[in-house]
Structure formats: structure tokens, C-alpha cells
Structure 1
Amino acid sequence: MPPVATLLLYLLSGTALGLLMLVTGIPAAPLAGAILGAGLLSISGLLEVAEWPPGTKTALGIGVGTVIGTGINRETLGELQTLWKPALLITITLVISGVLLGILCSRLLGLDPVVAFLGAAPGGTIGMSLVGAEFGVGAAVAALHAVRLMTVLLLIPTIVKFLVPLAGLNINK
């Protein structure tokens, strides 16, 4: 099958499950559905691995970054006056825990140290996969981050719905 046709089938699979997941009400459902749709098709072995044209992942990364960037406005910057301390604490904690987890995964589980550190690093799937690709381990890093992302997308909203009220906090401020 021509590479373009293969790529289109992956896109259709991701789009179909992404749109189908909209009815679930899960936050970021289209993203989770697209990952599952394309991933399951890839795992099935029915198609060759998709070959993205050069620069496509970079263009998609720029697109995602732009979507996120447009959400940052003057109000967001104003919120940083009160959020900078938690942001700093969260960032430092995530980096330290990522390094420690990378060491543990490498030493205890025999994982390649580069894969372990990049896979445990806080960051998005696209960004860390692109960094991993520069080290020649992009697919492994992408797999680790995809598992993390899917788990977080599916579990955290449920945890927030149940634990925040139990802690006596108002979830709808």
C-alpha cells in the first residue's frame, strides 16, 4: 500500500475514535481517542508503520504549541503572580522525581538510561518524543509518554471528582 494511503488510514482511525470519544465526557477525549485509534491500528499489524513526511511532526508540534500558547493571555499572566510559587514547587518536584524514576527504571528494570530519563521526564508526548528522536530513541520515549498520558487522562479527572469533595474543597470555584 502506498505510504500516503497508509498514513490516511491512520489519520482516519485516530479521527474516528477521537470523535467517538467525545460522547464519553472525558476531558481531552478527542486526544485520548486519537491516540487509542491510531495506536490500536498500529498494534494490530494490519498496516505498515506510518511514515510521516519530513517536518510533519515539527509542524504538528508547532500547531499544538500555538493552540496552548493562545490560551496564555494577560489574565493568565496576572494569575502567575499567585501561582509562581506552586508552579516552581511542582516543576522542581516533577524534575527531581523524573530523574529518580529514570535512575530506578534504568538500574532496576534494565531500561536504556536515555529512554528511562526521557520517558520519566515531565513533559508532553510530542516534545519528549522529539527530544528522544534526536537521541535515536523517539519511539520508546513516545510509547512511555503515551501510556502515561492515557493513564493520566483517564484517571485524574475521576480522582479529582471524588477526592476534591472528600477533602472538603469546592471543585467549582
Structure 2
Amino acid sequence: MIKPDFRVVKVFFLMAAGSALGVYFQLPIGAVMGSFLTIAIAQMVGLGAKPLQVRSKRAIQMTIGGIAGLNINSELLNELKAIFLPGLLATLSHFILALIVAYWLQKVLKIDWFTALCGSIPAGMSEISIIAEDVDADVQLVTLMHLFRVSMLVTFLPFIISVLFL
């Protein structure tokens, strides 16, 4: 008989509770930040839950990709034609800046190259965690770097935009 692992139930409960708290307290990207902080704190105090397997992470990515795909329509494709060149230039400049930051992280903070690069490149947190795992980078540090970067963007970008453009 298979013994149920109640840590999984605890993780889902904590994720939902943390997400609700993050939204309630209006944290930047509240649902993500709240669930992340709640699970991280629970792990530090002894929850003992295992990280998701790559197969589970890919199933979650597939779901997120499908949800994003539902928003694609012919109007969006027409808009994409108009912003293709600026988008390409923005992507290239972001990637070049990420290489510079990764080089700095490697030289100054002595972070290994793959961890520094994965933590600096423009990508979603779930995608980059799988890439980091594949190249034997420090997945926890990469995730923390991305969370910090996204949190700073979400926290300060609205203020910067309001000061500059409103």
C-alpha cells in the first residue's frame, strides 16, 4: 500500500495561502511573490518538501504556454509585425547587457559562469530554472536572482513611468 505524502498537500495549501496574502497585501506580482515567500520560509523551518521533478515543471510550463496561446489572435499578429524590429533590437540589447552582467557576477562575486548567465538572461523564472538545471547551474541562486530582478522591475517601473511620462 502506498503511503500518502501529506507534504504535497501542505505545499499546495501554503502556496494558495501565500498567494492570497501576496495579493491582499499588494506585493509586487503578489500571487507569485506571496507563494514563493511562503514556501521558501516553510522550507527553511523544516517543511522538507522535495523540489518538483523536471517532468512536473515541464507540465506546468505546458499549461502556462497553453494559457498564453489562448490570447493569440490575428490582431495580435498584425501588431507583432509593427513591433518586430524594435522588439528584436530590445531583445538583442537586453541579451548583450545580460552577458556583461554575467561577466561581472563571475569576476567580482565569483559566481560560476552558468549560474551568472542563467541569472542574468531575459527569461521567465520557470523556463530559466529548467535551463539552469540542465547546465548544472545553482538553480536556487538563479531563481533568487530572477525573483529579485522581477520584483525590482514590478516595484519601481510604475513609479519611474509615472515620474517620466505623467
- Tell me, yes or no, whether TM beats 0.5: yes
Cα deviation for residue 68 of structure 1 reads 1.9
TM-score (norm 1): 0.82
Equivalent position of 2:101 in the other structure: 101
In structure 2, C-alpha distance between the alignment counterparts of 1:148 and 1:42, rounded to whole Å:
22
Q: Aligned to 1:166, which of 152, 163, 166?
A: 163
Q: How does 1:30-49 map to 2 (within 5 A)?
A: 30-43=31-44, 45-49=45-49
Q: How does 1:1-173 map to 2 (within 5 A)?
A: 4-25=5-26, 28-43=29-44, 45-52=45-52, 55-137=55-137, 138-153=139-154, 155-156=155-156, 159-160=157-158, 162-169=159-166
In structure 2, C-alpha distance between the alignment counterparts of 1:84 and 1:59, rounded to whole Å:
29
Partner deviation per Cα, 1:105-126 (whole Å, 9 max, x = no partner): 0011100111001111110111
Change (3 A) 1:166 1:142: closer
Number of equivalenced pairs:
163
Aligned amino acid, residue 119 of structure 1: G
In structure 1, C-alpha distance between the alignment counterparts of 2:92 and 2:54, rounded to whole Å:
35
TM-score (norm 2): 0.85
Unpaired runs of 5+ residues, structure 1, are none
Unpaired runs of 5+ residues, structure 2, are none
In structure 1, C-alpha distance between the alignment counterparts of 2:53 and 2:129, rounded to whole Å:
16
